[in-house]
Amino acid sequence: MNKTGSIKTGSGKKEIKITQSKFFLAALIYLTVPVIIFFFGYLKPVWAVLFSLLTAFACWWTWHDMAAKKAEKPLTERSVTVKASYFVFLIPAVLLVIYLSGVGEFSWCVGDHRVRYAILYDLINYKWPVIYDFSTQSNPAVAQALGQGKVAFAYYFVFWMVPALIGKAFGLMAARIAIFIWSAIGLMLVAIGAMLLYGKQSKFIFVALMLFAGFDIFPYYYRLWTGFNPTWEDWTWHIRVMGNFYQLMNVFHQSIPGWLITVLLLLCVKSNCVGLLGSLMFCYSPWAAIGILPMCVVKLFEANRGLKFKEVIRNVFSVGNIIAPVVFFICFAPFYTANSNATYENGFIWKFYSKWSDLLFDYALYVIFEFGIWALLIHKKYKKNWMFYGSVATMLIFPIYKMTGPNDLLMRGSMAPLFAISLYAVMYVTDAFNEMMEKGNRKIKPRLKVLTLLLSAYTTFNFLLTVVLFTSMIYTGIEPKQDMTTGITSFGNIANEQYLDMVSGQFYVYDYENKIFFKYLAK
């Protein structure tokens, strides 16, 4: 092995040893750089410097403490060796997935990308913190509806900070390319982390992760048969979650960092990481932070089993577990809550059903087809895994309360536990795939397991086919070009008045001068 960690085999082929310690460090750098850019871009200098130093110290301390060779459970005990040629597969595969998911708006994409484009546009073209003056609205209908005044922009846009900074220097197109590349780097880290969990090189595991979804094919066709007008994933309104690829299509800015943080949490062998990882999730998605909280609690118990009381106290009240949550909460809690209109339509789930029978039926469909079948299939393999049971329990409890019309609390809040279940399921199917590919193996059982994954990927295949078809039709001129880059364009100059209520409700902070964040923390 040379100093770079590469290994030369007898055949002359290079292999790369990826240790958990190096992976953890790379992932932390990827996740914290945008947060520090936010600090310096949005906060008063004293807060920016203080919070950045504390964040860097918490990350370094956590990584150093977990990687220490003298630790009772050293982080460096796990590694995976991959052939250098593996990246010839992984890099194009990741780039293709990012392209098809619509990141950067270079392909056909879902309607949410009107908002994604506008966020990047405004972070480039406005001074930070972003403040909108209603006098800049050129659409007469929008200008009349808004009147006079100024509002601030608040949203969980930390994922955009690196591309936005590049865009400020080199322009919008450079930023769109940067968000594409930045997303690809994050997804590649997720893929490598999944291999670390699995313990060996596998091309199939990344493909399977992107295909993974619930068994929506069954409730979809049932709803269609009963006269309901469902879509592939939206066969019920109040209690629903999304498969991995569809999640990426809609909220790449939450799913990519959310998945990476989930992988790190599953890889952790000590509990001194949970505060740092849980609060890092809060920086990228307040919804997903709620969902990862129960998993962090489970990790606290799981990682401290068999340790002495003093060691437990030292791990639980470690630097990372204390400093990072305090810093991120002080900064981002008042920022996110500055706009109270963003969490409309709240209440316990039964409030939104006229009949208990309808609620129970929807809940049963959700449990059975979204994750229950997978949980039953894989529970024997993971019957001693606390994080598996913690993820399933979180998914069972999460629907009790609804926030926002489409229920973002469940759709995005379930990101960590659902992705954990998908990781466990995909590793289970990858074992079957490897067995199936063995020379002379004609067993039916591994083939059925792989077929089960393909059945659950019905919705994913539909989305992939839709993207490929419509993208080709747009580029050949058969279909008109999408207005993802023109429908809104900027929250400070909304092109189409039909988006006004959505923008003003979700992204505008009225009376921002009297909000805690803008009054005491922001520049």
Predicted pLDDT of residue 478:
81
**Could you tell me the sign of the dihedral formed by the alpha carbons of 62, 68, 70, 73, in that order?**
positive
Beta bridge partners of 16: 6, 82
Cis status, amide bond into 446, omega within 30 of 0 = no
User: Per the domain annotation, does 306 fall within a domain?
Assistant: yes
Q: Check if the beta carbon of residue 212 is closer than 8 Å to that of residue 424.
A: no
Beta bridge partners of 150: 133
User: Per the domain annotation, does 453 fall within a domain?
Assistant: yes
Which residue carries 């040379």 as its tokens? 2
User: Which residues, 6 or more positions from 140, have their beta carbon under 8 angstroms from its beta carbon?
Assistant: none
What tokens does 441 get? 């193996």
Among 372, 389, 409, smallest CA distance to 363 is for: 372
User: Per the domain annotation, does 253 fall within a domain?
Assistant: yes
Beta bridge partners of 8: 14
Residues in the chain: 523
Q: Check if the beta carbon of residue 285 is closer than 8 Å to that of residue 258.
A: yes
Predicted pLDDT of residue 67:
65
Please state, in angstroms and as integers, the Cα–Cα distance from residue 242 to each residue in 255, 370, 422, 458, 463, following that order. Answer: 11, 8, 11, 12, 12
**Could you tell me the sign of the dihedral formed by the alpha carbons of 491, 496, 499, 500, in that order?**
positive
Strand order in the sheet with 150-153: 131-133, 150-153, 508-509
Q: Check if the beta carbon of residue 374 is closer than 8 Å to that of residue 366.
A: no
Q: Check if the beta carbon of residue 154 is closer than 8 Å to that of residue 131.
A: no
The range of the structural domain enclosing residue 379 comes to 6-521
In three-state form (DSSP H/G/I as H, E/B as E, the rest C), the secondary structure along 512-523 is HHHCHHHHHHEC
Q: Check if the beta carbon of residue 419 is closer than 8 Å to that of residue 244.
A: yes
Beta bridge partners of 133: 150
Residues 323, 325: Cα–Cα separation, whole Å: 6
User: Which residues, 6 or more positions from 128, have their beta carbon under 8 angstroms from its beta carbon?
Assistant: 41, 42, 523
pTM: 0.94
Q: Check if the beta carbon of residue 42 is closer than 8 Å to that of residue 128.
A: yes
User: Per the domain annotation, does 432 fall within a domain?
Assistant: yes
User: Per the domain annotation, does 390 fall within a domain?
Assistant: yes
Residues 227, 272: Cα–Cα separation, whole Å: 52
Phi, psi of 356 (to 5 degrees): -65, -30
Number of domains in the chain: 1
Which residue carries 């990790």 as its tokens? 299
How many Å separate Cα 402 from the centre of its chain?
20
User: Per the domain annotation, does 271 fall within a domain?
Assistant: yes
User: Which residues, 6 or more positions from 91, have their beta carbon under 8 angstroms from its beta carbon?
Assistant: 188
Q: Helices (DSSP H) in 437-491: which residue ranges?
A: 444-456, 458-475
Give the DSSP letter of residue 242: -
User: Per the domain annotation, does 1 fall within a domain?
Assistant: no
Name the E strands within 333-482: 347-348, 401-402
The pLDDT averaged over each successive group of 10 residues in the chain (523 residues) is 50 78 94 98 97 95 71 61 92 97 94 94 97 94 94 96 97 97 98 94 95 92 80 80 94 97 92 92 95 94 84 83 95 92 80 91 94 95 94 95 86 94 96 86 88 94 94 84 84 93 92 95 95
Task: Tell me the HSE value of 471 on the side-chain side, using a 13 A CA sphere.
Answer: 16
Residues 306, 65: Cα–Cα separation, whole Å: 19
Phi, psi of 449 (to 5 degrees): -65, -45
Residue 406, judged by CB atoms within 10 A of its CB (0-12, 13-18, 19+), counts as: middle
User: Per the domain annotation, does 47 fall within a domain?
Assistant: yes
Residues 472, 479: Cα–Cα separation, whole Å: 9
Q: Check if the beta carbon of residue 284 is closer than 8 Å to that of residue 253.
A: yes
Predicted pLDDT of residue 6:
53
